[in-house]
Amino acid sequence: MNHWDVVVIGAGAAGLMCAIAAGQRGRRVLVLERANKPGKKILMSGGGRCNFTNLYVEPENFLSENPHFCKSALSRYSQWDFIDLVCQHGIGYHEKTLGQLFCDDSSKDILNMLLGEVEKAGVTLKIQCEITQVSFEGSYQLQTSEGEIKAESVVVASGGLSVPTLGGSDFGYQLAEQFGHTLVPLRPALVPFTFTDGFKLLSEKLSGVSVRARIHTEVDTKVGANEQSFLENILFTHRGLSGPAVLQISSYWREGLSVTVDLLPETNCQVFLTEQKQQQPKSMLRTVLSQLLPKKLVLELETMWWPEQAEKPLAELPELLLSGIADKIHGWKLKPSGTEGYRTAEVTLGGVDTNAVSSKTMESLKQPSLYFVGEVLDVTGHLGGFNFQWAWASGFAAGQVV
């Protein structure tokens, strides 16, 4: 049989969820996946433990040119609905930080749960199936490596450009444009920063060092964007900066702008140094700062910011110098040259403009029975399970109506 009610393009989180919801309604559903197995991004996510949702999902956790678009789907299939499904399957999970939920065991548990539901719903899944052309004449004709396939509805769940080794491609964007949709410009997001200036040498020396910090974006006057900041760990790498706080801020950063790092966001550094000067006048500045920051990092800061006073005890350091160092620790300005790009980006920012898509059904407003779900849309979540929750919610919304 090559005529289906619904063809879902892509067997990732959003595509599988959509197929399950549609199959449960008795629709004849075919899922086509070009990779050699389904759910590759699910398997590698969360360090192999799959950060499958977040306890605290709010519309504010998503970036989109239309910030209201995500509200309808998220309210109709919430994090509690997905948690309930996980519990039904007896999958153990735990909260890591900031509401992030991870499998106790392995990401395979989530993928196996979805594939089990796919089978139960009577959905057919074909892997290693390339689609070469999609056309529409009353119904859809898909030219594929498995021959021609016909469908009454097509759901585009092909993801974005991120991590091409796991199947990321521009197929969904091309299909959207073919049927008259416009794209919000695409950029890699949730991605580490790279540097070409002197900071690169410093980050190489500090590679592997992690510190809790607050990172701010510079306000971009051209787009009138508000300042954003995140308080989590930053990680020095051979190429620059990574870690949760950096990945979060990368979604808001624009090329040419700086970021500001506060290395002691929960301590008033000037007050601390003044107190230490009184209590430990014979101690070195590096010694007292190493109580709060990794020693390796403090030694590099010393080389940059107070090399001539490095061997003087606190008692001999003027208040003005200590005040200046405190200011630098709270406001270390860095200028990334770029990011590591789609190769390591967790998601693609931008995508199919949501102004031409129904927020209730995910159906195209330009082309009948064509739907877009998940990452291909211009909806991008923060780090911490939000992109998976968008996949579940948008997939479910489309699956209710296709």
Which of the listed residues 289, 309, 339 is the one where a domain comes to its end? 339
What band does 197 get if pLDDT is binned at 50, 70 and 90? Answer: confident
Of 319, 339, 359, the domain-final residue: 339
Yes or no: say if 348 and 188 are a contact pair by the CB < 8 Å rule: yes
105 shares its domain with 226: no
pLDDT for residue 167 is more than 80: no
How far is Cα 43 from Cα 162, in angstroms, rounded to an integer? 15
The verdict on 332 and 355 lying in the same domain is no
Query: Percentage of the chain with pLDDT > 70?
Result: 98
Q: 174 and 200: one domain?
A: no
Residue 329 pLDDT more than 50? yes
User: How many Cβ atoms are within 10 Å of 69's Cβ, its own excluded?
Assistant: 23
Check whether residue 76 and residue 97 sit in a common domain: yes
Q: Which two tokens stand for residue 243?
A: 């870690």
* pLDDT value at 198 more than 70: yes
State percent of the chain over pLDDT 90. Answer: 94
- Is the confidence at residue 107, as pLDDT, over 50? yes
Q: Which of 288, 318, 339 is the last residue of a domain?
A: 339
Q: Where are the beta strands (DSSP E) in 355-402?
A: 370-372, 380-381
pLDDT (0 to 100) of residue 224:
44
pLDDT per residue as tens digits for the range 120-156:
999 999 999 999 999 999 999 999 999 999 999 999 9
The answer on 374 and 330 residing in a single domain is no
199-225 pLDDT per residue, tens: 999 999 999 999 999 999 986 655 445
pLDDT of residue 343: 92
C-alpha of 288 from chain center? 37
CATH number, domain of 172, equals 3.50.50.60
Q: What is the mean pLDDT of residues 341-370?
A: 97
Measure CA of the first residue to CA of the last residue in the chain; give whole Å: 19
How far apart (Å, rounded) are the C-alpha atoms in residues 100 and 300?
33
Do 333 and 360 fall within a single domain?
no
- pLDDT-derived band of residue 378, with 50, 70 and 90 as boundaries? very high
Same domain, 311 and 196: yes
Give 18-61 pLDDT, tens digit per residue: 999 999 999 999 999 999 999 999 999 999 999 999 999 999 99
3-state secondary structure of 48: helix
226: which residues sit within 8 A by CB, 6+ positions away? 219
- Distance (Å, whole) CA 198 – CA 219: 24
| Number of domains the chain contains | 2
Put simply, whether the predicted model's pTM sits higher than 0.75 gets the answer yes
Residues 71 and 169 in one domain: yes
155 with 14, same domain?
yes
Same domain, residue pair 176 and 241: no
Average pLDDT, the chain: 95
Asked if residue 270 and residue 164 are part of one domain, the reply reads no
78: pLDDT confidence band, cut at 50, 70 and 90? very high
Element (H, E) at 212: strand 210-217
- Bridge partners of 214? 231, 262
What domain range is 312 assigned to? Answer: 192-339
* 70, 59 Cβ separation under 8 angstroms: yes
pLDDT at 1: 58
Q: How many CB atoms lie within 10 A of CB 90?
A: 8
221 with 72, same domain: the answer is no
Strand order in the sheet with 100-103: 51-54, 100-103, 93-95
CA–CA distance, 68 with 75 (Å, rounded to integer): 12
Q: Which residues, 6 or more positions from 204, have their beta carbon under 8 angstroms from its beta carbon?
A: 238
